[in-house]
Chain A
């Protein structure tokens, strides 16, 4: 599978990709419907909680504290995980992480792996690395399976295939599972996926998972899910390889009390996930009577991949508090129009707009911090209170600094206009002169409408985006301050 269209290094800018998505009416309808349903469910179960705001604050405090002492908690996790029979690996970047996982799978003696849905494996593009090494990965999450069989890419953190509707999924299954007679009821599709996956669960001996949380106090790993496929991957295979960003750690087991209330409600509008799995190390008794529950070999790959750089940035740091619930995506009016692929990143929506540029160390995805109207809906729903608009503005400042540095900056049209405007606003006299000049400059563009009012239907250059769908009324003959002064003089 090629990662091209969704690699931020090669992806088109957000405005360009969004334009293509806006033309896909089926996709927009699917995204709108899915986000509406999830938002409505979320609002209902959040509304049941009398202490939701206190829970959000508790969630924020836990995450902030963890980030402040991240090195300490990671080492605590490593010690406790190792004591329980796990093996902890550290990966500096995506390439190192891919290398470690591929090596571990090869060492397990398997040329196939079953996978639990994991955004981190998407982030480091693990599947293509496995395939290049002759290892076939099978996604077992229903949505990820649809994505994999359809040679597509996830468009949502929690509901990766939310841009597809039932008919489209049926077509993919008919083609890829060779089931020409497949019905179109949800039950038929679920049955087909179940049959397809059951064979993999029973046969493949090596599994790869992500992690929702790593618990420092116990060395345990927590995965929450809705379908039970994850539980199968965690208990059946002999080798389990978990890959997690270093930001996934939680200090205490008890912190799950807060997180497991916030996460499912925000993510899928459920009070509790149907499956909550926490496993610690290996099953020590597995060799004796043949009865066993859990892997005999367990590895955790702790992946940095630019997270320490994000941690070092005081204003960007709160991005790492994210628990990947996707609520910001469902609430975002921009995401709701375009779906996830326009973001050119595995992390789409508001969180993607702040996370991806930082993961890419700002060299790529410069358009993402601008893919927001700053309406604040994302901040309002975030279960750990990440002030996404604040981080967006911080990243915009970084973009401006990059683009205006050196000689090239002198020729940046936007920067030139912004600096000129700032000069004008620094003096009342210059501001008034600019207001008068504006009235003169707009004159050739103004047309009279049926009511005799003057309107501009076309603007040149950067401002042309405005007149694409909107007119602009001509400037009034008199500014407010001119009126105020005239009124003072005339005494009325």
Chain B
């Protein structure tokens, strides 16, 4: 299949390893990956903070970049949630029939990365090897907006060498919430403290998720506390291969 990658603005800038891992997994599975170079950002930060007008041109940009795609893969559940929950409404509000039609036609071909593997390709075992103790955090958007269910866990369970440990309060928000982490820094930190405690209790070497935004938040605290626990995007675990160093 020809897979178009929407990397997202923060993965592009801050987590290129996640993007490389997505490419590695998809190519290993025999798919052709393309990267439309005009892509930038889905507009989630603007939209969710109340700057709806600023998000609109980013919707148009996304549609223009990906309208011809066979499948769009996005390694971020919150960005996919932004598109699924809000793009149709935004298109309707624009009153432009052709934009509404394009959004409606494109969205069914947009997948979060783990969702693409489990639901579109019907896979669980992607041939990965990752000999570490790992715990999984279900990001809110993946869980409640995309209804990923146990898809990411099934992918992880199929990884050879992995020691998967369950996280207490798996479904509790980590407290990131985009600009919430800055606007309500104290409450966000309190929520984060609960999450990092749960992660440390698992004695895992790494915490994984389908969303680098949650992970960046967790990683920041785990580093501040000098815990030695890493965060790693699900794609990077699935990209692991026997004999290939990360």
Seen from chain A, the residues whose Cβ lies within 8 Å of a Cβ on chain B are: 14-15, 18-19, 22, 333-334, 337-338, 369-377, 379-380, 390, 393, 396-400, 414-415, 418-419, 421-422, 424-428, 431, 435, 438, 449, 455, 457, 462-466, 468-473, 475-476, 478-481, 483-485
Contacts and interface: CB of A to CB of B under 8 A. Distances in A.
B46 A435 contact: no
Given A376-B145, A481-B7, A22 B224 contact: no
B197 interface: no
A462 B57 contact: no
Contacts of A379: 144
B187 interface: yes
Contacts of B191: 333-334, 337, 373
Contact of B37 (A337, A419, A481): A481
B3 interface: no
A441 to B, nearest CB: 13
Given A373-B180, A375-B140, A418 B185 contact: no
A484 B37 CA distance: 10
B192 interface: yes
A463 B181 CA distance: 9
A402 B166 CA distance: 45
A479 B19 CA distance: 10
A311 B88 CA distance: 23
Given A376-B140, A469-B220, 8 more contacts: A373-B175, A418-B54, A422-B54, A424-B40, A431-B40, A468-B189, A480-B12, A480-B15
Contacts of A479: 12-13, 16
A421 B17 CA distance: 24
Contacts of A484: 19, 23, 35
A470 B217 contact: yes
A483 B16 CA distance: 8
A18 B186 contact: yes
Nearest to A393: B48
Nearest to A431: B40
Contact of B180 (A337, A370, A418, A472): A370
B223 interface: yes
Contact of A333 (B55, B61, B172): B172
B38 interface: yes
Contacts of A372: 177, 180
Contacts of A15: 183-187
Nearest to B12: A480
A396 B48 contact: yes
B49 A396 contact: yes
Nearest to A333: B173
Contacts of A485: 37
B224 A471 contact: yes
- Interface of A (DSSP majority class): helix
Interface string B63-106: 00000000000000000000001000000000000000000000
Interface string B213-232: 00011011101100000000
B13 A337 contact: no
Contact of B51 (A400, A449, A462): A400
A181 B14 CA distance: 64
B116 interface: no
B58 interface: yes
B220 A470 contact: yes
Given A375-B177, A455-B223, A465-B182, A421 B7 contact: no
Interface string B28-64: 0000000101111101011111111011011001000
A376 B139 CA distance: 11
Contacts of A475: 13-14
10 contacts: A15-B183, A334-B187, A374-B178, A380-B144, A415-B51, A422-B55, A422-B58, A469-B189, A469-B221, A475-B14
B129 interface: no
B223 A377 contact: no
A182 to B, nearest CB: 34
A370 B184 contact: yes
A397 B52 contact: yes
A466 B187 CA distance: 12
B1 interface: no
Contacts of B224: 457, 469-471
Contacts of B12: 435, 479-481
Nearest to B65: A428
A372 B181 CA distance: 10
Contacts of B145: 376
B130 interface: no
B165 interface: no
B16 A375 contact: no
Given A380-B144, A425-B41, A480-B7, A469 B223 contact: no
B168 interface: no
Contacts of A22: 186-187, 190
Contacts of A380: 144
A371 B85 CA distance: 20
A480 B49 contact: no
Contact of A471 (B173, B185, B220): B220
A449 B35 contact: no
Contact of B13 (A333, A438, A455, A470): A438
B102 to A, nearest CB: 18
Nearest to A476: B16
A468 to B, nearest CB: 5
A371 B188 CA distance: 10
